[in-house]
Each structure stands twice: as structure tokens, then as C-alpha cells.
Amino acid sequence: MKKRRLLIFGILAVAMLPLSCNKDFLDTQPLDKISADATWGDPALSEAFVFNVYSYLGYGGFEEEGLGSLTDETMFTHTGRGVEVITEGTLSAAGTGNNRILPQWDELFLAIRQANVAIQQLPEATFDTAIKDRLIGEAHFLRAFYYHQLQRFYGSAPIIDRPYELGEDFSAARNTYAENVDFALADLEVAISKLAGKPTNAGRATNLSAMALKSRVLLYAASDLRHGPTASANSAMLGSYSNLDLVAYTSGDQMTRWNAAKAAAKAVLDATSGYRLDLAAPASAEQATETYVSIAMGGNSGVGDAAAASELLFERTHSPLFTQEDNWPLGGIHQGVNNGPNGYHNWAGNTPIQQLVDDYVMMDGSKFDWSNPAHAADPYTGRDPRLYATVLFDGSNWKPRPSDVAGMDPNDQIQTGRYDDGAGGTIPGIDTRDSPIENWNGSRSGYYLRKFIDADPAVSDNLSSAQVIPWPFIRYTEMILNYVEASIETGDEGEAVSWLNKIRFRAGLPAITASGTELRDIYRNERRVELVYEQHRYHDARRWMIAEETLGRGIKVIRPTATLKAGMTPLSPYRHDKTVYDYSYNVIDMTETETRTWDDKMYYLPLSRDEISRNALLVQNPGY
């Protein structure tokens, strides 16, 4: 599925004039293009140009290959897609891996160039000032967003603040990381000002979007990976890099940066509110699960609560803005098809791994532990309710099966195990790689994604229907977590605990009273499960410099088995039933498709050999 760009070129209506009496036909304009003067003199055309800048956002996380599969969230099921060169640390300047997971340097600069054109031209536009200011604000927001993407993946980049013209020398050296951060922050200040008081449209940047992105930029800038002395102490490779200022601060005070991150996050919390964060006690397990489903749906589903849309501060949405671009997601690929079970004719692109499932705590707040016999015997009972809104496991109730599969499973339960056939053998579940239904799309991990897939039975998971679900580029709860992290790092633990407990109560978990290292560990796990699949873990593990023990720790998967209880006969068709079967769960290492390891060079992506050939002033990232 290729990314398509919104075309602002329309077909112009041309009056047919008698050639014998009018020689104006000799002064023609191309009929497949619109002149710059026309574009910047017309608000609709100017808006269409800015829509094109949005189009470089792509589909958010709704690709078949997901950023979570470079982390300890999920694994990619299929082979030959350039995923393993990233997870195994063999990425190089000659081969930059899967280009649908990782944003490419050249694509980001194409987006930046379009933003630069808008920023240069819009001030001279000859239409309503309010519309013009809104578009200027959006263009500055988008340029900051794309520069932050460069910072997150590559470190720093050349600061290009105007569109180059033909014939110019395009060579430019990378500015320092500090200069890149300051440039993005300056853009965001313009966006905050220009978008203040402007009407909001789903999928478009707002004043709050810009304030929230500012929070994220400052949080990353304060983190250990970006503090040169800490990064050098934690990584010999970074310590020996002679251009450390391209990827980190080499001067200045880290605590000052943490205080700036704290203030920016608090500004967003004070300016708006989230969803069901005012509880005085933990929600029930049922309500907590329903809440998290509603948040994942963004309020756009036949299940859950539409008020959950208040969580979204910047989203990739299904609207006329984007249907012009590529008709996404109508008639095309979406989360259900990309990641759902093969027993529903889906593709199982990214599947959760055991390390993620194990990190969901018990309802009483204690850790799940395979060495606890009660936990090991019944691992999916009594867990953090968000687990049930995030992961499909063996025995999970799910949607009605397609008509050609319904006879095999009239109970609509996920089947990822092997089940006693009563004759000394076993039968494979419908959703396994031994299934009679498209086994090549079966999960290797024993799990499937649940989050971001519409559970409404009226919405089928196939190519002929659309799941109208927004992608959450930024949401309110991230701002709480940003504030909690900055509060911990600045020693304001009481404030951190207070806000963290708001999220825990919503999730049905008890309050905490932790401090010190214990508080930091609880916070990091809370961020892990709350923001799972939302493209944060890859960056969080790197900026905390815990990648070796998280991203590089390999893959563990589950193999459920059902054995008939004494005197029982097998159910046909099979269904998950603890009164008929005893269930056991075998956790194993998975190395069939990749053998994960960590190399410190993976803290940053390489600049491709082609980019360096085009621009001799570029300095390569460490380790490549």
C-alpha cells in the first residue's frame, strides 16, 4: 500500500470561444496546473496546498508494518520486509530498512519544503486575515512536527527555512541538536499564537495541538539520550563520537530543560481536560475496559463513548480533508485487516509478544509472575483491565466469524492454542499457523491486536468496509504522562503521584504512594501500557537509554494447550471451556523470523548513502 499525495491540481473549466473573433486563445495557461498567484489569492486553493503538507503524515500507525514491532510491544509476522535489519542491529547507510515503519529523511524534507512554500507565500495572500493566520499557524505546526520527527529518529538536520529555487546549491550542513530544538519551538510559538481562538476541525492542527507538541519536544530534549554527558557515560560509542552536538546537548543544564518540559506539559493540562480522569476511586474492571476501548476508538464507533474524542489533541482522521488524498480508509486497508486474526481472513501483521502481556499488572496493583502457580494456571484473569482492550488471547470473545468460518467456531472466540481431540492427539486453533484458514497469516506469538480495531459486529474486518477510527498522533493522557515524568525528574514526587493516580483510577487500579526508583519504574510501566501501539515505546526506550534490556531482549511467545479433564469428551466444535478442559501455557523464545539484539548505533538512524552523496556537507550519525 503506497502513500499517495493529495493533488491540488484541478481541471479548469474553459469557455469555448470562437477563434475567428478572439485571439486571446494564443495566451494560454496549462490546464492541469494552477498558478501561484491563483493559489495564494484563493482561500480554498491555499487550504488545499496546506492539506498537501498534512498528507506527508501518512496513515499514522495504521500501516501493515508497525513501529511497535521494533520494540518489546509486538513482532512482525511476515518475512522479507526489512524489519529484521532494524531489530537485529544490522541497519546501515546502504540499507535503511523498512521505509513504511521508519520515516525517510528525503520524505520529511519534501514535507518541510511544502511547509516552507506555504510559510513564505501565505503572509502575502490576498484573502481574509483570519483564514490566512490559521493556515500560517498550521504550516508552522507541520514544519515543527516534521523537524521533530527528524530529531526523534536522526538527531539533527540542516535547518531549511525557505524553499530552494532551481539552480541553487542544495548542500547544507546539519545544525546542532540544540539549534534544531530551538527552531521547532520557535515554529510552535508562532502556531500557538496564530491558532489561538481559531475554529477547530478534526484532523487539523489547533492551538492545543501546538502546545502539546511543544510539551513533547521539550520532554525529549530533557531526556538522558539528549544530555551529552549522560549519553556519553552510558554509551562508549556516543562518548567517542566527535560530533556529539549533532545528536545531543553538549552544554547547558539538564534540570533547566526538565523544568521547561514540566511547565509546557502543565500548560496543556490547565488549558483543557481529558476523559474520565476525575474519579475519586478506581473504576470497576468492566468500566475501565470500556473506557480504554472508547479512547482507542476516538469516539468514532458503535461501541464505547463518543465523549472519548476529548482525548485527541492531534489526530489523523477520516474526513473530506483526507478522502481527497487517497480515499483512506474507504475500500482499503485498516487496522482490522492489517493486524486481525487469520481466522477472520485478516493478515496478523503485528502481534503482541509475551513481554508486553507480562507487564500488565494484577488488579490489586501487584506484578504478574509466572512463578506464582495461580498466575501461571490462569494468566488472563484479574489483570489490569486495559489488557482486555489491547490484546486478543486464546479464549477471548470477539466478533462474529465470517460466514465460511462460522461453522468451525460458532462461539466467536479467539483460538491460538492446540486442543485435546480425545483420541491422543490435538487439533489446532483456527487462528494459528496450523489453521485451515490462511495459516500463512497466523500469529507466531499466540496473540493478536485488539486496540484500534472496531468491535462493532456491524463493521467487518475486510477490504470492502471501512473502520472510521482516528490515529492519535497526540492525546491528552500523553500530556499527563509527560508532566508526571518531568515532575519525577525535578523532585516533585507528590505532584507526579497525584496525576499518575488519575490515570490509574480510570484504569481500575489502586492508588500508589511510591517514591524514588520505585515511582519511576511504576511510571515507566504505566506509560508503556497506556500508550501501547501509539508509536511511543521505540522512542521512550531509546531516550531513557534502556534499549538494550527492552528493545534488544528478544521475543517470547505463548503456546496454550487444552487437555480434557477426566471423564470429559471433547467439544465439537471446540470452544474455550474451563469446566471441560485444563489449560496450560508454555512460554518460549521465538527466533524463527528475527533474533533481536541491540547495538548502540541504533539510538539513531543512519543518513542514507544516497543522501550523503547528494550533500557532501552532511556528517553521518555515530556507528555507521
Residues of the chain with pLDDT under 50: 1-32, 320-333
Q: Which helix (H) or strand (E) holds 556?
A: strand 556-564
Residue type, 439: N
H helices then E strands: how many in the chain?
Answer: 20, 10
Q: What is the pLDDT of residue 458?
A: 81
Are 506 and 277 in contact by the 8 Å Cβ rule? The answer is yes
Contact call for residues 339 and 331 (beta carbons, < 8 A): no
Here the contacts of 486-493 (C-beta below 8 Å, separation 24 or greater) are 486/219, 486/222, 486/258, 486/259, 486/261, 486/262, 486/265, 487/262, 488/519, 488/520, 488/523, 489/222, 489/255, 489/258, 490/255, 490/258, 490/259, 490/262, 492/262, 493/519
Residue 98 pLDDT:
84
All three cell numbers of 33: 496546473
The one-character DSSP state at 16 is -
Report the DSSP pairing between strands 350-352 and 426-428.
unpaired
* Cell numbers linked to 65: 508494518
The dihedral built from the CA positions of residue 532, 328, 117 and 196, taken in this order, carries a sign that is: negative
Secondary structure class of 283 (helix, strand, coil): coil
Asked whether the beta carbons of 76 and 69 are under 8 A apart, the reply is yes
Name the grid cell of 405: 468460518
Taking a C-beta distance cutoff of 8 angstroms, is the pair 611, 105 a contact? yes
DSSP letter for each residue of 207-243:
HHHHHHHHHHHHHHHHSGGGBHHHHHHH-HHHHT-TT
The CA distance from 183 to 143, in Å, is 10
CA quadruple 175, 3, 100, 529: dihedral sign: positive
Please calculate the CA angle 344-350-356 and round it to the nearest 5 degrees: 115
Contacts (Cβ under 8 Å, ≥6 apart) of 81: 65, 98
pLDDT of the residue at 107: 95
Question: Which residue stretches of 424-536 are H helix?
Answer: 476-489, 493-506, 516-530
Q: Return the number of other C-beta atoms located less than 10 Å from residue 401's C-beta.
A: 21
The residues, ordered by sequence, that sit 6+ positions from 71 with a Cβ below 8 Å of its Cβ are: 537, 538, 541, 550, 551
SS3 (DSSP) at 182: helix
Using DSSP's 3-state secondary structure scheme, residue 564 falls into strand
Task: Count the residues in the chain.
Answer: 624
Q: Give the C-alpha separation, 98 to 91, whole Å.
A: 10
Helix (H) or strand (E) holding 566: none
Cell numbers at residue 213, please?
Answer: 507538541
Whole-number Å distance between alpha carbons of 385 and 285: 6
pLDDT score, position 480: 98
Q: Do the beta carbons of residue 604 and residue 153 sit within 8 Å?
A: yes
pLDDT of 231 reads 98
Find how far residue 256's CA is from the centre of its chain: 29
What's the Rg (C-alpha) of the chain?
26
Residue 586 to residue 209: CA distance in whole angstroms: 45
Omega before 570 cis (within 30°)? no
Look up residue 559 and give its DSSP letter: E
3-state secondary structure of 4: coil
Q: Is 36 helix (H, G, I), strand (E, B) or coil?
A: helix
Global pTM value: 0.93
